[in-house]
Amino acid sequence: MAGAALASASVSRAPSLVEPMDFPGMGRGCGCVRDVRAGEELMVVHVSECFREEEARGYAPLAPFASQLSVLDACALHVLLERAKGEGSSRWAHIQSLPKAYDIPVFWTDAQLEELKGSAWHELTMRYKAEMTTDWAVLNQIVASSADPKFLERHGITLSEYMWAYATFKSRAAEVTMNGKKAKLMAYRFDMFNHSDEILPGSSHDFDDARQSLVVTATRDYRKNEQAFISYGTAGNGSLLLGGGFVLEKNRFDSVEVPLTVLCDSRRLPLLLTCAPEAPTVSYVLPTFEFLQVPEDSELADGKCAPFITKHLLTFEKPLPTSLLAYVRLERMSDADLNLFEKKLKAKRKPDIRAALSSDDSLPSIQELLAVGALRGVLHAMLDEYPTTLAEDLRTLASGSEHMAVAATATRDGLTFGEAGTGGGRDDGSGDDASSGGGGGGGSGSGGGGDDGGDGGGSGKRDAQSEGGASESVSKAVDVARRRMATILRSSEKTILHKALRHLDWRICFQIKSLLNSMMLQHRFFRVEGERAWLNQLIRRQSVIDERQERCERAIERLHAASLGSGHVNAAMHAQTVAAIFLILAGHDEHPLAGCAAFIPAASPLVGDHSNSHVVPVLKPSILKRDKQEAARGALSYLAFWEEKMTLWNAYLLGQWGVAKGMNIEAASSIQREAEQILKEWACSVPTSPALSSIAAFAPLIELGAGTGLWASELRVRGVDIIAFSQKTSAGESRAPFVLEGGPEVLDSGKHDERTLVLMWPDTEGVGDYGAKCLRRYKGGILVLVGEWHDRTYTGHGKSFSPEFQGLVHSHFTLVDEQRLPNWPLLFDTLRIWKRNQMMQLVTPEHRQQSD
């Protein structure tokens, strides 16, 4: 070591233009001692002043086993031995500047690590912790079998000490190219530079072979006392957190990894290789693609298949990489699909299959829909793995700014912000550009670990895995800081995923609309020849469906499993497509209300009469939402059943149309008959949470013609005061036990006049006088009606209320509220609330309480 000290002493140092300074909200960094111009050398550190592999392996105390040590272990032990010397070490100034402890996730508590759940960095942290433990065990074995088996014990090197040194070198060493070879250098004061993602990676520092020195160059002009930054490469927040214990509030290099496995055969292998994007030729461009597993030709011999695995990075700039879409499109193709695709390309004289697979308009609509729907399902599942939503994270970050300011102050005596940097040459599996050094929690970032500028070495006995004797306020502040960093990390990843999903949602809407539009145009073309012309055409197309049965079945299966939207939007998309198909089949595609059947208008070609669109309430996917408590107790089971049927029917009909430009008419008729039977067995209208809440607001209630009592049962579960009556059931029909026998006559006594009258489909097919009899006997002021109305139906006056009843209602009541409900094919159910005309104002629950 004496030789190294002499070499260091003989080096002629250029005056540094920076020195460690404190910066509010960021801890320590390198501040300029004078005004600096871009291009000036901020710092020059000779190799002799750096902890590095070559020096560590030549260090005498490590000689008995140095050759067997990993680079990381050799350098970590070297740091510990120098720290143990205290002021007698020639590196004492460097040792003193090192952090007392680190805030990288391997030192977090289990509860804090839970904040990283859902992110790939949670798994990497677990691997990193396991790696540390394994490396420690291996080190003990190496030393025990060496000529100096008591080395660790004699020098007092424990697991805690080892972990501190391990984290020190791993997080603060810069990977450089030195004399033509990659090397890791932990340079004094260089590791105090903070990181900024605004600096072009690779432009801030480099190793000068001629001077054998690490040179830091100003990338822009700086004023005196202004903080100077370097670039740690294309490191996202995951790398910065795992390697250095800090994150940036906004990091343009953040990304989300999407591993993709494609079952590959000899035919697809060259296509998959062809679709791979070109690797970036410069270090400052984040590589967004990587081959993880490519099968050998021998693995694909004799028609065998093998996994072909790739990794795709979603970024802010490219949330939906073209290569990812191309791979998913190819994966979703059957051999028959691929044959047809290549045939069409040849016919169009477009032999470039890579360009075709990367294009948004090369594939048939059904194939594109299946591809983007499958990818959407994968990305949505990734979002579901997080313990919180993006909206919740953003609220947490917005509300936590004051707490973070307190935390930053409190941790000045313990763990502080922005001091533990990360080198670009990390071994964390991130694959980031390795041309950086580690110092601070750069830019406008958040950090939780590092030093406060004093005595990083001390006695060398600090336990790096805990806050030791830190005060309760400091421990709390550290906890706040760590959770905030995790929230910043996962919110950034979720933002990227949401951007990718928005791109996919647009594609899904476009393809569904295209499929329905082709159906509608074909129907209108044949309609010129007569009402049954199109039906006859569909019957003729049955032979094509039969011929393409295997492809149809695959399309149906995959469409059923595809994600067409997030949560209840998926069911809404299926439902509106079923509605559109049956409207086209029935010849109602130009009906004024046709466009109102869509939850998501962008995915429907049906427009209708927009002159009255403001009158009809908008059909929103949110009405289908069920909270976790409702789902757990089995509430709204009819709604869940409706969603299942809509998904199944849409997959069947749209899948056939997409593959064969036809539909099985018998199957469509069977669907219609099944829907009619469901109405009899369950209820004519499907209850939703918003509708039930609106009805509950006008309790107490009395329902006549309650049928099975399904709606009344849902209201009772919510604690609503409702009595329900129904006349005798037909053979085979059943009703809830609380439903009493009775009809309009139960209103004769007048004892129920204080209750709101609820009627749902009282007049089957819109025929009869049941509803009118009820209304004439009712003396109360509020009327709740569920079903079709003369201006909310595709045919006549609707199938729920007779013309006589509707006339009475219009004569004596005023409509005060209307809500849309889920519909079975060719129906247009709504919830309508009416008040009696002589009432001067709407009777709200509050008014009712006042009158009581």
Q: What is the pLDDT of residues 193-229, one digit of tens each?
A: 999 989 999 899 999 999 999 999 999 999 999 999 9
Amino acid at 20: P
- Separation between Cα atoms, residue 521 and residue 348, nearest integer Å: 24
pLDDT of residue 347: 83
pLDDT of residue 729: 61
Please tell me whether residues 75 and 222 are part of one structural domain: yes
pLDDT of residue 460: 34
CATH value at residue 714: 3.40.50.150
Please tell me whether residues 662 and 755 are part of one structural domain: no
Do the domain assignments include residue 693?
yes
Taking the mean position of all CA atoms in its chain, how far away is CA 457? 42
DSSP 598: -
Do the domain assignments include residue 350?
yes
Which residue, chain included where needed, has tokens 């707490």?
403
From residue 478, how far is each of 413, 414, 449 by CA, in Å? Answer: 11, 9, 8
**Cβ atoms 188, 49 nearer than 8 A:** yes
Tell me the β-bridge partners of 183: 176
3-state secondary structure of 559: helix
Q: Which residues of 62-81 are buried (b: 16+ CB within 10 A; e: fewer)?
A: beebbeebebbbbbbbbbbb
Question: Which two three-digit tokens encode residue 719?
Answer: 């604690």
Question: Which two three-digit tokens encode residue 754?
Answer: 């204080």
Question: Which two three-digit tokens encode residue 556?
Answer: 């149906």
pLDDT of residue 13: 60
pLDDT of residue 791: 94
DSSP 380: H
Please tell me whether residues 159 and 295 are part of one structural domain: no
**Cβ atoms 139, 441 nearer than 8 A:** no
Please tell me whether residues 757 and 773 are part of one structural domain: yes
Do the domain assignments include residue 407?
no
- Separation between Cα atoms, residue 687 and residue 823, nearest integer Å: 10
Task: Name the nearest CA neighbour of 647 among 550, 564, 709.
Answer: 564
Please tell me whether residues 317 and 226 are part of one structural domain: no
Do the domain assignments include residue 620?
yes
From residue 145, how far is each of 62, 80, 250, 384 by CA, in Å? Answer: 13, 21, 49, 49
Tell me the β-bridge partners of 626: none
Taking the mean position of all CA atoms in its chain, how far away is CA 141? 44
**Cβ atoms 420, 244 nearer than 8 A:** yes
**Cβ atoms 313, 257 nearer than 8 A:** yes
pLDDT of residue 425: 34
Residues 6+ apart with CB under 8 A from 501: 376, 379, 380, 383, 566
- Give me the phi and psi of 661, to 5 degrees please: 50, 45
Do the domain assignments include residue 198?
yes
Tell me the β-bridge partners of 831: 786, 819
Residue ending a domain, among 681, 703, 736, is 681
- Separation between Cα atoms, residue 231 and residue 215, nearest integer Å: 13
Q: Give me the domain span that covers residue 73.
A: 18-244
Please tell me whether residues 656 and 710 are part of one structural domain: no
Q: What is the pLDDT of residues 30-59, one digit of tens each?
A: 999 999 999 999 999 999 999 999 999 999
From residue 627, how far is each of 73, 270, 633, 640 by CA, in Å? Answer: 52, 47, 10, 12
pLDDT of residue 340: 86
pLDDT of residue 614: 53
Amino acid at 40: E
From residue 390, how far is each of 239, 488, 492, 825 by CA, in Å? Answer: 21, 10, 9, 35
Residue ending a domain, among 244, 277, 303, is 244
DSSP 286: P
pLDDT of residue 336: 87
From residue 301, how far is each of 265, 295, 296, 304, 306 by CA, in Å? Answer: 8, 11, 9, 6, 10
- Separation between Cα atoms, residue 367 and residue 362, nearest integer Å: 10
Q: Kindly provide the residue ranges of all beta strands, DSSP E only, lying in 776-829, ordered along the sequence.
A: 782-787, 813-820
- Separation between Cα atoms, residue 514 and residue 777, nearest integer Å: 52
pLDDT of residue 446: 58
Which residue intervals of 187-283 are DSSP H helices? 237-244, 268-274
Q: What is the pLDDT of residues 64-118, one digit of tens each?
A: 999 999 999 999 999 999 999 999 999 999 999 998 888 899 999 999 999 999 9
Please tell me whether residues 654 and 706 are part of one structural domain: no
CATH value at residue 185: 3.90.1410.10
pLDDT of residue 654: 98
Please tell me whether residues 195 and 87 are part of one structural domain: yes
Taking the mean position of all CA atoms in its chain, how far away is CA 130? 28
Please tell me whether residues 625 and 722 are part of one structural domain: no
3-state secondary structure of 321: coil
Tell me the β-bridge partners of 782: 835
Number of domains in the chain: 4
Residue ending a domain, among 324, 340, 361, is 361
DSSP 522: H
Q: What is the pLDDT of residues 614-661, one digit of tens each?
A: 589 999 999 999 887 877 788 899 999 999 999 999 999 999 999 999
pLDDT of residue 839: 56
- Separation between Cα atoms, residue 121 and residue 658, nearest integer Å: 40
Angle at 733 (CA atoms; ends 732, 739), nearest 5 degrees:
145
List, as one string, the DSSP characters of 609-651.
Answer: -GGGTTTSPP--GGGG---HHHHHTTTTHHHHHHHHHHHHHHH
- Give me the phi and psi of 738, to 5 degrees please: -80, -10
Write down the number of H helices and E strands in the chain.
29, 22
Do the domain assignments include residue 465?
no
**Cβ atoms 75, 51 nearer than 8 A:** yes
From residue 456, how far is each of 67, 102, 137, 178, 636 by CA, in Å? Answer: 29, 11, 26, 28, 61
Q: What is the pLDDT of residues 160-194, one digit of tens each?
A: 999 999 999 988 999 899 999 999 999 999 988 99
Residues 6+ apart with CB under 8 A from 745: 777
**Cβ atoms 328, 371 nearer than 8 A:** yes
Helix-helix angle 637-660:472-527, to 10 degrees: 50
**Cβ atoms 558, 334 nearer than 8 A:** no
Angle at 151 (CA atoms; ends 146, 152), nearest 5 degrees:
120
From residue 12, how far is each of 186, 190, 211, 213 by CA, in Å? Answer: 19, 17, 10, 11
Task: Name the nearest CA neighbour of 653 among 771, 574, 568.
Answer: 574
Please tell me whether residues 152 and 46 are part of one structural domain: yes
Chunked into runs of 10 residues, the chain (852 residues) has average pLDDT values of: 40 79 86 97 94 94 94 96 94 91 91 96 94 94 95 95 92 90 93 90 93 96 96 92 91 95 92 87 79 94 94 95 93 89 83 81 90 96 95 91 44 33 34 39 48 37 42 86 95 98 97 97 92 92 95 96 94 98 95 95 82 75 88 88 98 97 96 96 96 97 96 96 86 78 94 96 95 96 97 95 97 96 97 85 44 37
Q: Burial of 682 by CB count in 10 Å (0-12 exposed, 13-18 middle, 19+ buried)?
A: middle
Please tell me whether residues 676 and 563 are part of one structural domain: yes
β-strand 213-217 against 41-46: which pairing, if any? antiparallel
pLDDT of residue 813: 97
Amino acid at 720: V
pTM of the full predicted structure?
0.86
From residue 420, how far is each of 71, 96, 104 by CA, in Å? Answer: 21, 14, 8
Q: How far apart are the first and last CA of the chain?
A: 94
pLDDT of residue 567: 87
- Separation between Cα atoms, residue 600 and residue 603, nearest integer Å: 6
Do the domain assignments include residue 78?
yes
Task: Name the nearest CA neighbour of 647 among 831, 373, 329.
Answer: 373
Do the domain assignments include residue 377?
no
Please tell me whether residues 668 and 702 are part of one structural domain: no
Q: Which residues of 463-492 are buried (b: 16+ CB within 10 A; e: fewer)?
A: bbbebeebeeebbbbbbbbbbbbbbbbbbb
DSSP 264: E
Task: Name the nearest CA neighbour of 71 among 53, 87, 88.
Answer: 53
